[in-house]
A and B are shown apart, each in its own frame.
Chain A
């Protein structure tokens, strides 16, 4: 190519119209639009929090957290619902996380790529969109009646686990798919079996993404009311569950119960309950995010 001159095929002056200023303006407009979109989300959340905190701040106290619910608003607390929610979340995470991750690993790493697998995949996506009340009916039929677990904590946790399982599976598969194939090939080329490669390299690299999905799934579960009411969670509980087979309530149910009463004092209690619910949710997420950050650091270093 060195001897020959590169002949200009086009007249750069007339045939190219860079329109730099227009492109810059379009870019600026788009930038502003994205900021507005973000601001709408943030402001709504902010307004909600301000409103709830203004209504509920006055009822927040150790008494509110430690007392059982009561017919007298001044003596009522959220203890049974708070404990119920914490038990419920821990149980649900313990059940749904290993099941969901295992299913995702099977589908992504082991399942043959055929019609049956794509049929299963399609249906898992569908399951993620099924209304939660349907899961409640399923839980009532299977766990409460068939397995005779009654209206217990474990029946509720199993029902919520079914509810969030598709979300964890889908997030898990996305995370596994994002692991570069070169890592798998490196493992295979060293005489590692598929399982060894998955356990030692693919899963650890995918774990931060899997945890993100699990956080989202558990955040959904913590706010669920319908399926738990369907399986028979109580609305008035003056004790904390002592075993997996005890009846229970959770915070969204308690909050709903308070907010549907006519007296304004109970509405304040509901706002207080929402603050506690948000605090629990943020604590759970913070733990998961810390865990994720630690895993990511381990992978980088």
Chain B
């Protein structure tokens, strides 16, 4: 893959099977461009972190991976996102099909105002799951390390759980429909350090079988959990661009770009 815009930048192509191949992706909100021509390859069964200061377009990029922008009035996406030879933005690709495979966890835990069980069962029902719903719900709650805490109160309201538990419930809900990729948009920013730790442990565990892309403003978190890190920055024109993309250890020890170095050492942002 050769994208002309990356010539001066340090953008690696991770080895192995790619989970997503992003090609010159740009997003506009109305007439304002939010991110410009981003190209990158996200490796399978690993954690990729997207970091950068506020307003650099990290969430915008993440939401482009499962076509969440389709639901925002006025948002427009250009470029391609390939998965297994299918362009997720091709005219005949159904966004509902895309999101069924690429799940998403949001910044604020957003459980449905229903019981814990119903929250996890919803995705199964809408996607026509034909197996044993209760067994699948238990499996998903176990995978999200929540089962032991909620097994005796599956009929209780999801809103009665703590913030950290709610976020793990949202992860369980996403896992229940067996997605291939999990997008996480600052999943710990509303949580305390203990809950954050639990989510991070869970992410490491999940990365054995899922591909995870996480947006975070917390550089320690990126360096703790991720295998690859992408650094984004908005220039003078306030349009976000991908500055550097490298294995996490490499980026944090020896950043190639001055701007990356300035950011991770705390001089900007």
Chain A residues packing against B (C-beta within 8 Å):
112-113, 180, 182-194, 196, 200-201, 205, 299-301
Contact = CB atoms under 8 A, between A and B. Distances in A.
Interface stretch (B11-19, B68-76, B216-224, B227-235): B68-76
Most chain A CB within 10 A, of B68, B101, B103, B112, is at B112
28 contacts: A113-B73, A180-B110, A182-B106, A182-B110, A183-B112, A183-B113, A185-B106, A185-B110, A186-B106, A186-B170, A188-B68, A189-B104, A189-B106, A190-B99, A190-B122, A190-B123, A190-B174, A190-B177, A191-B97, A191-B100, A191-B101, A191-B123, A191-B127, A191-B177, A192-B126, A193-B96, A200-B126, A299-B113
Interface of B: 66, 68, 71, 73-74, 96-97, 99-101, 103-104, 106, 108, 110-113, 115, 122-123, 126-127, 157, 159, 170, 173-174, 177
A183 B110 contact: yes
A296 B97 CA distance: 33
A194 B67 CA distance: 13
B126 A196 contact: yes
Contacts of B157: 300-301
Most chain B CB within 10 A, of A180, A187, A189, A194, is at A189
Nearest to A204: B113
Contacts of A188: 68, 71, 96, 99
Contacts of B126: 187, 190-193, 196, 200
A195 to B, nearest CB: 10
B108 A182 contact: yes
Contact of B71 (A184, A191, A200, A299): A184
Given A186-B110, A191-B100, A192-B123, 10 more contacts: A187-B112, A188-B68, A188-B96, A189-B68, A189-B104, A189-B106, A190-B126, A191-B99, A200-B122, A200-B126
A250 B112 CA distance: 44
B159 A189 contact: no
A300 B111 CA distance: 12
Interface pairs A-B: 3 shortest CB-CB = A191-B100, A189-B104, A190-B123
A181 to B, nearest CB: 9
Contacts of B71: 184-185, 188, 194
Contacts of A189: 66, 68, 99, 103-104, 106, 174
A187 B108 CA distance: 15
B103 A190 contact: yes
Nearest to A299: B113
Contacts of A113: 73-74
A75 to B, nearest CB: 56
A180 B108 CA distance: 12
Contacts of B74: 113
Contacts of B99: 188-191
Contacts of A299: 113
Contact of A186 (B101, B112, B127): B112
A193 B67 CA distance: 13
Nearest to B108: A182
A186 B106 CA distance: 8
Contacts of A183: 110, 112-113
A184 B113 CA distance: 12
A205 B170 contact: no
A112 to B, nearest CB: 8
B67 to A, nearest CB: 9
A180 B159 CA distance: 14
Contacts of A184: 71
A300 B159 contact: yes
B88 to A, nearest CB: 14
Contacts of B173: 186, 190
Contacts of B68: 185, 188-189
B26 to A, nearest CB: 21
Nearest to A189: B104
A105 to B, nearest CB: 15
A300 B158 CA distance: 9
A5 to B, nearest CB: 22
B173 to A, nearest CB: 7
A192 B112 CA distance: 13
A3 to B, nearest CB: 15
Contacts of A187: 112, 122, 126
Contacts of A191: 96-97, 99-101, 123, 126-127, 177
A184 B174 CA distance: 14
A299 B103 CA distance: 25
A160 B147 CA distance: 53
A180 B170 CA distance: 16
A180 B73 CA distance: 16
Contacts of A190: 99-100, 103, 122-123, 126-127, 173-174, 177
Contacts of A185: 68, 71, 104, 106, 110
Contacts of A112: 73
Most chain B CB within 10 A, of A112, A184, A190, A301, is at A190
Most chain B CB within 10 A, of A186, A187, A188, A194, is at A186
Most chain B CB within 10 A, of A113, A193, A205, A301, is at A301
Contacts of B97: 191
B229 to A, nearest CB: 24
